[in-house]
């Protein structure tokens, strides 16, 4: 039960800050720019610039760094793993030898660069989800995808599916917890036994969860129909996205920083 409660995945933290008030499209595109440049950078100095840029954004977003860094936890293992692989597996100038394991200078450099890359990637994307409400995030994605409508991308449907999924993740987690507690009270045990038994023990959670989820989906569909939902055609928006001066300036600044980081240094 502890596990469920600690998922801070995509949790929006409302604040009044420059980052929060940016147009979601700008935030998504800036994030993409950072990700692209991460894969173009070859030197430390580039990472330094990009890393400082992301840290600077975290600070002005007024979101406590604790929450941003929490996003790193699940992939810490992957980062450490790649670091170790690189350090020991790269051929080159040996700087330390321990039995058959040797650490090479090239390996160390490469490992650190890759770790930085993952590190900054996660920080940037968790800041995006922490500082953008799910609604405006999907709004932004819908508008951006609309560009590709001419090749048949169903932008509205994708955005609607994302909105509904995001909306129901917390509900499902809550419900899972409730059902788990109820079954524990009835004598179920989720903490002991071998893998096979544990998987079998999940049945009392999964069946009620699915039954409820299907029922809820049914109800939602009826409710949407009752409200005359008929897809994206001719639909207007309650919140109109407008690009403001601050958006243009921020985006320009992001582009300058990312281009500088990936090309000049």
Nearer to another protein (CB atom), residue 199 or residue 246: 199
Tell the smallest beta-carbon distance from residue 17 to another protein (Å). 14
Nearer to another protein (CB atom), residue 67 or residue 88: 67
Nearer to another protein (CB atom), residue 35 or residue 184: 184
Tell the smallest beta-carbon distance from residue 182 to another protein (Å). 4
- The interface with another protein within residues 127-186 (CB under 8 A) comprises 178-179, 181-186
Structure tokens at 27: 């935030």
Determine the size of the site formed for another protein (CB under 8 A): 23
Tell the smallest beta-carbon distance from residue 187 to another protein (Å). 4
Stretch touching another protein by CB under 8 A, among 5-13, 156-164, 241-249, 255-263: 5-13
- The interface with another protein within residues 196-215 (CB under 8 A) comprises 203-204, 207-208, 211-212
Of 9, 21, 56, 64, the residue at the interface with another protein (CB under 8 A) is 64
- 67 near another protein, rule: CB under 8 A: yes
Of 188, 213, 241, 255, the residue at the interface with another protein (CB under 8 A) is 188
- 194 near another protein, rule: CB under 8 A: no
| Phi, psi (degrees; rounded to nearest 5) at 193 | 100, 165
Tell the smallest beta-carbon distance from residue 176 to another protein (Å). 12
Which residues are paired to 97 by β-bridges? 102
Tell the smallest beta-carbon distance from residue 265 to another protein (Å). 37
Nearer to another protein (CB atom), residue 165 or residue 182: 182
Tell the smallest beta-carbon distance from residue 19 to another protein (Å). 16
> H/E/C letters for each residue in the chain?
CHHHHCCCCCCCCCCCCHHHHCCHHHHHHHHHHHHHHHHHCCCHHHHHHHHHHHHHHHHHCCCCHHHHHHCCHHHHHHHHHHHHHHHHHCCCCEEEEECCEEEEHHHHHHHHHHHHHHHHHHHHHHHHHHCCCHHHHHHHHHHHHHHHHHHCCCHHHHHHHHHHHHHHHHHHHHHHHHHHHHHHHCCCCCCCCCHHHHHHHCHHHHHHHHHHHHHHHHHHHHHHHHCCCCCCCCCCCCCCCCCCHHHHHHHHHHHHHHHHHHHHC
- 13 near another protein, rule: CB under 8 A: yes
Distance separating alpha carbons of residues 210 and 202, to the nearest angstrom: 12
Distance separating alpha carbons of residues 205 and 179, to the nearest angstrom: 6
- Interacting residues toward another protein by CB under 8 A: 1, 5, 8, 13, 64, 67, 178-179, 181-189, 203-204, 207-208, 211-212
């Amino acid at each position: 039960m502890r596990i469920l409660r600690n998922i801070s995945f995509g949790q929006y933290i409302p604040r009044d800050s420059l980052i929060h008030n940016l147009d979601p499209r700008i935030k998504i595109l800036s994030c993409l720019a950072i990700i692209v440049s991460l894969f173009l950078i070859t030197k430390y100095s580039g990472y330094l610039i990009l890393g400082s840029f992301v840290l600077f954004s975290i600070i002005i977003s007024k979101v406590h760094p604790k929450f941003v860094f929490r996003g790193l936890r699940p992939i810490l293992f992957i980062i450490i793993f790649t670091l170790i692989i690189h350090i020991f597996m790269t051929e080159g100038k040996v700087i330390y030898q321990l039995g058959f394991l040797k650490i090479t200078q090239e390996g160390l450099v490469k490992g650190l660069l890759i770790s930085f890359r993952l590190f900054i990637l996660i920080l940037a994307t968790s800041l995006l989800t922490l500082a953008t409400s799910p609604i405006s995030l999907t709004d932004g994605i819908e508008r951006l995808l609309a560009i590709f409508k001419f090749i048949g991308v169903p932008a509205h449907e994708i955005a609607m599916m994302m909105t509904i999924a995001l909306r129901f993740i917390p509900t499902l987690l809550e419900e899972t917890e409730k059902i788990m507690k109820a079954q524990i009270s009835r004598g179920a045990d989720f903490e002991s036994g071998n893998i096979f038994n544990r998987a079998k023990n999940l049945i009392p959670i999964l069946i009620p969860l699915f039954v409820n989820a299907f029922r809820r989906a049914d109800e939602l569909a009826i409710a949407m129909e009752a409200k005359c939902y008929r897809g994206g055609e001719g639909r207007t928006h309650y919140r109109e996205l407008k690009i403001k001066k601050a958006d243009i300036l921020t985006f320009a600044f992001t582009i300058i920083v990312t281009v500088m980081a990936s090309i000049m240094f």
